[in-house]
Amino acid sequence: MTPRLEWPGFRLDYDEGVLGLRWSYVADLEVKAERCIEASLRSRSADASSQLVFRFRSAESHTADLIVVRADVPTAQVQSAEQFIALLRREHGVSDRLTDEDEATELERVPAGAAGWVLAPTGPASEELFSAVMHRIENESENDAG
């Protein structure tokens, strides 16, 4: 039996070492589970809903390419999501949340023409959001240092 999580608009399968993440009518992503460097379940709100977070490294382990995927988990599916993550940890040694050092790695923008892009090109609203987020991060870093 193939382990599967499913709720309206989303499905996550694990079959023969491949994770399949599918958002109905939006996107499909298949990634070898061996590329998964983090699988965690993070609490989102007081209603006990959560968010699945996966981080995948690129095929070349010496590169900084990283794919981060987040999927909201309904309250009724939280326990099943925990079991799914436990399976990934057992089968592939996938970590829970990465250390602060890993999360503090400098953010780098992947050039639009690079193979690391899943979707391209970005629209003006995305460009504006990216600039605003990077500006906020820079300001918070300066304020923390001062």
Residue 146's pLDDT band, with cuts at 50, 70 and 90, is low
> Which residues contact residue 69 at a Cβ distance below 8 angstroms, ignoring those fewer than 6 apart?
21, 29, 52, 53, 54, 55, 56
Region of poorest pLDDT, from 26-30, 31-35, 52-56, 119-123: 119-123
* φ, ψ of residue 79 in degrees (nearest 5): -65, -40
pLDDT reported for residue 106: 55
Residues 90 and 135 in one domain: no
Number of domains in the chain: 2
Residues 55 and 24 in one domain: yes
Report the predicted TM-score, pTM, of the whole model to 2 decimal places. Answer: 0.62
Residues 94 and 120 in one domain: no
Summarised one tens digit per residue, pLDDT across range 11-24 is 999 999 899 999 99
Chosen domain end from 87, 105, 123: 105
49 vs 73: CA distance, rounded Å: 6
First-to-last CA distance in the chain? Answer: 56
